[in-house]
Amino acid sequence: MKHFLWSLIALCCINSTVVKGQDPTAYKWEVSGKKIQDKVYELTFSTPGNNKWQLYGANESISEVPSVEIELADSSIQVHKPFKESGNSTSFKNPVFDNATFKVYEGPASFTATVTFTGDVPAVLLGKFRYTYGKGDEFYPLNEYAFSAPLEGGVDARPVIDVATFDLKNPVNPCGDEDTGGKSLAGIFFIGMLGGFIALFTPCVFPLIPLTVSFFTKKSQDKKKGIANATVYGLFIFLIYILLSIPFHLVSGVNPEILNNISTNVWLNIFFFLIFVFFAISFFGYFEIGLPSGLANKIDSRSGMSSLGGIFFMALTLAIVSFSCTGPILGSLLAGTASEGAWPLTAGLAGFGLALALPFALFAMFPGWLQSLPKSGGWLTSVKVVLGFLELAMAVKFLSNADLVKQWGFLKREVFIGIWVLVGILIVLYLLGKIRFPHDSPVKKLSKTRIAFIVVFSAATLYFIPGLTNTQSANLSLISGFPPPLCYSVYKNPVNCEKGIEPLHNDYKEALARAKKENKPVLLDFTGWACVNCRRMEENVWPDEKVSALIKEKFIIVSLYVDERRPLPAAQQFEYDNKKTNTKKNIITVGDLWATFQSVNFDAVAQPQYAIISPDERILTKTKGYTPSAREFAQWLECGIDAYNKKEQQTAAK
């Protein structure tokens, strides 16, 4: 909340001169730690200063918000105030805050804080130091400096991430997946196509099909030229949507885990929830979403060119003017595949672009088909409103992701399904004409198409209703993975919450110890609280009689949650230097540890991902991703058992 308040101050109170922008190199900091007594240390942050700026004193209060803060992931560590300050300070009256007087430093300065530990003192303390600077009516709060401070006598309890004995390319048995990807690219491509076809039947896109095709066929010198131009036009639409994925490749190239971190970030999921509600209200007709009109006009002015450049700008114009309808659908696609990586995003966008492009090329080749297209009318508005309701259903999923990651417990399974039931009822009432939105005309007669959709959404709603009960029929297998897990229930004893397989949670060392004691291989389950396919595996594949028996009797299973936001103890937090990517990463939370462990040792960032290893940390098989076939998964488990027996025989022979 403090950070939010400061953001408001920066936005609302600062003069327009701030537009020049914050200088990230304005201040250089060094941090040192000094032991005062047992479990009590001093942290000193020193800077040579910058004569172009004024650094606010460490103990200043600006609109009841401190000018300097130290953030540590371990909440048990106490930071005592006030800070000790050293350096030549002066007084400054800030015009932004009613000429209030503040202590500032224009040269070298040092701020020292006393820190007390209740648990083990870490060998290196990680944290964030936030400071404030400015000059005149320029003001820059909440500038972040991530630090690592060595502490005398600290405990080095850093967990091992690089396992030297792992050899992913040479498992004992070569069974498993050929790669470490998650969903197939083909599957995501077709999901993208489905989104594109849905976008075609919106008021922003559908009326443009006959208009654009007629333009190409009538304005061209001959029929062949018109077909060629329309085909190129469709190709450009396809390419434009693929180009949208390029930034994700650049980002994932820096850190392969970043897309997964984005998709499971609590506040980003809440942001997505709000955005999708915003999209839904737009679809209901209360306002239009659009890109800047100046940009649209500028692009449109270039589309009159007769060259390939002109055709490209026509395609770009379509992408821009249709954004109010395609944006929410495209946003659903991007958000839904964010954790899968850059190439799946490209595949989804390619499918979306292809679905939008196909009609323009096909109708140009076969102009007679235009006569069979239904006339534009009120039905397009109905499609848009129904999509608005579906956006609301999608929004709930993002809110559920945040709830599951933080384990808040306010959006339990039955609450989630209840909201979907309500959305289904509202869709049916809307299609029956009982609910109307702006720009809707009264429903005088139910067409066959409308009746068909009423039947479909009524059937879906009736299917969801048993999910509200504590009965066997509440296990809605068709939507498995989308609602919260069966055990995440409002009922004290949910009947569908089977305790057949009980993995160890995030305790890799304990799993190895048990495996060695019981002479069994270890089944690593890389999973996540917000992972849809993980829940599908747990609810549809693990309960299979053969799979369940194999896991319980032949393996020690441990679930490693890559989105677990619980911080590690301070002594286990450290800065990891990834030699493969030549990057550094702070391992602060349990999720940081297991996400990095997975990417470094198994070249994977998608979940679920399964690996079978021996108690002495040898990889026994290739890894296995999402496998909806219980038979196939059981075969892989049997192959892992065979590999373990082979290894034991080889060890005994030596």
Q: How far apart are CA 190 and CA 187, in angstroms?
A: 5
Q: For the ranges 25-34, 469-478, 492-501, which has the lowest average pLDDT?
A: 492-501
Tell me 607's DSSP state.
S
Other C-beta atoms closer than 10 Å to the C-beta of 205 total: 20
Higher pLDDT, 559 or 344: 559
Instruction: Single out the residue of 411, 414, 426, 415 nearest to residue 461, CA to CA.
Output: 426
Other C-beta atoms closer than 10 Å to the C-beta of 11 total: 9
Q: For the ranges 78-92, 137-151, 217-231, 626-640, which has the lowest average pLDDT?
A: 217-231
Phi-psi region of 589 (alpha: psi -120 to 50; beta: other; left: phi over 0): beta
pLDDT attached to residue 2: 44
- Interval 34-61: pLDDT, tens: 999 999 999 999 999 998 899 999 999 8
Would you place residue 9 in the very low, low, confident or very high pLDDT band (cuts 50, 70, 90)?
Answer: very low
Q: Which two tokens stand for residue 285?
A: 């007709």
Contacts of 547 (CB under 8 A, 6+ apart): 541, 630, 633, 634, 637
Sole residue written with tokens 């291989």: 521
Instruction: Single out the residue of 197, 194, 191, 224 nearest to residue 209, CA to CA.
Output: 197
Other C-beta atoms closer than 10 Å to the C-beta of 548 total: 17
pLDDT attached to residue 97: 84
pLDDT attached to residue 36: 93
Question: 180-184, 345-349, 493-497, 510-514 — which one is most confidently predicted on average?
Answer: 510-514
pLDDT attached to residue 358: 82
Sole residue written with tokens 């434009």: 240
454, 430 Cβ separation under 8 angstroms: no
Q: How far apart are CA 564 and CA 558, in angstroms?
A: 14
Q: For the ranges 189-203, 234-248, 532-546, which has the lowest average pLDDT?
A: 189-203
Q: How far apart are CA 300 and CA 305, in angstroms?
A: 10
Would you place residue 222 in the very low, low, confident or very high pLDDT band (cuts 50, 70, 90)?
Answer: low
280, 389 Cβ separation under 8 angstroms: yes
Q: How far apart are CA 503 and CA 60, in angstroms?
A: 50
Q: Which two tokens stand for residue 92?
A: 């400054």
- Interval 140-188: pLDDT, tens: 888 999 999 999 999 888 898 999 899 988 999 989 887 544 446 677 7
Tell me 467's DSSP state.
G
Q: What is the mean pLDDT of residues 135-141?
A: 85
Radius of gyration, alpha carbons of the chain: 29
Q: Which two tokens stand for residue 287?
A: 């306002």
Q: What is the mean pLDDT of residues 615-632?
A: 92
Q: Which two tokens stand for residue 56?
A: 């606010």
Q: How far apart are CA 154 and CA 138, in angstroms?
A: 41
pLDDT attached to residue 420: 94
Q: Which two tokens stand for residue 496?
A: 């569908």
pLDDT attached to residue 547: 94
Q: How far apart are CA 7 and CA 389, in angstroms?
A: 33
